[in-house]
Homo-oligomer: A and B are copies of this chain.
Amino acid sequence: MTLKIYLSGEIHTDWRNQIIKGAADLDVVFESPVTHHDASDDCGVAIMGPEDKKFWHDNKGANLNAIRTRHGIENADIVVVRFGEKYKQWNAAFDAGYAAALGKSLIVMHGPEHQHPLKEVDAAARAVVEEPKQVVDILRYVLFGKLP
């Protein structure tokens, strides 16, 4: 059994690396969005030409990024979505909704300060955790039945 995991959400801390390193001995394959903030914002106009309006600048980029994120979610067995401390992070919640509608197993990661506003997202999840290590523990348990 190989598990395919998509790591969605916050891009300003190294939580993805912590999970990937922690799961180095497991039969798992990870996909992620582009996490380089500027590239992610500007990819559309860099490839398809500039726009005067910020709306279309962003629209072109968001559509390109969607090629990658939809691939990641649609092919995943498990979608992990992390909400960080800053910013609106609506794309993270959007990904969670998208994954839920496809029946993916959803793991949500966030601190206790976000518990109430994330209650609808958490209610769609199979697990709600705070730390990357807990995601690794879950993957190890799902694959081997081993508790931490």
Interface residues of A (CB under 8 A from B): 1, 3, 31, 34-36, 39-40, 42-44, 46-48, 52, 54-56, 58-72, 77-78, 83, 87-103, 105, 114-124, 126-129, 134, 137-138, 141-142, 145-148
Contacts and interface: CB of A to CB of B under 8 A. Distances in A.
A142 B68 contact: yes
Q: Copy number of this protein in the oligomer?
A: 8
Contacts of A77: 67, 71
Nearest to A71: B77
Contacts of A61: 119
Nearest to A114: B88
Task: Tell me whether chain A's interface is mostly helix, strand or loop, or mixed.
Answer: helix
A123 B43 CA distance: 14
Q: Tell me which of A91, A101, A128 has the highest count of chain B C-beta atoms within 10 A of its own C-beta.
A: A101
A81 to B, nearest CB: 10
A103 B103 contact: yes
